[in-house]
Amino acid sequence: MTRALVVRAQNGDAAAFGELIEDHYDLIYRTAWKWCGNRTDAEDVAQDVCVKLGGAIGGFDGRSAFSSWVYRITLNAVRDMQRAASRRGKYADAYAEVSPEDHPADQEEAATSRQLWAAVRELPEKQRDAVLLVYAEELSHAAAAEIMGIKEATVSFHVHEARKTLRGLL
């Protein structure tokens, strides 16, 4: 089904492209949010990715799953946004959304989760990507390897190194 939509979108079918975006928007936004840590940046990245997909759809060659290709474009967009923010001296705030009416235990769990993901975002790029794909996205090491364009064993190595680093940080 997705392959047929991709071919139609590559041939200029705007409705097919719209359907692809609709089918993959949650994946794009969720991925951006996990990498950025806040809603505003995630929305900006998701919008940017949708625009980029419009120009890049013709370059999708089908060697990988369409969703893997979208992941890579999303990760690149996040990195671009983070580099731009870094050049401006701005740092994205990582936070979990907590409302005052939440139970204190829920607030404590959200704060712990916020600290963990903030620490993950500080890891070296390859470790961060491996951890977020494997633990946040719940992908297999093989699926993460396909998205990252590396071997499965290398993903395992990055996850292992990230765990050691996080133990030291937390």
Domain boundary among 92, 113, 129: 92
Q: What is the CATH number of the domain that holds 15?
A: 1.10.1740.10
Domain boundary among 34, 65, 92: 92
Same domain, 4 and 80: yes
Q: Are 80 and 10 part of one and the same domain?
A: yes
Predicted local confidence at residue 63, as pLDDT: 87
Rounded to an integer, what distance in angstroms lies between the CA atom of residue 55 and that of residue 107? 42
Q: 115-128: buried (b, 16+ CB within 10 Å) or exposed (e) per residue? A: ebbbbbbebeebbb
Residue where a domain stops, chosen among 92, 118, 140: 92
19 and 52 within one domain = yes
Question: pLDDT by residue for the chain (170 residues), tens digit each?
Answer: 788 999 999 999 999 999 999 999 999 999 898 888 889 999 999 999 999 999 999 999 988 889 989 999 998 998 888 877 766 554 434 444 444 555 555 555 555 667 787 788 888 889 988 988 888 888 899 988 988 889 999 999 999 999 998 888 76
Q: Is the domain of 63 the same as that of 117?
A: no
Domain-located, residue 97: no
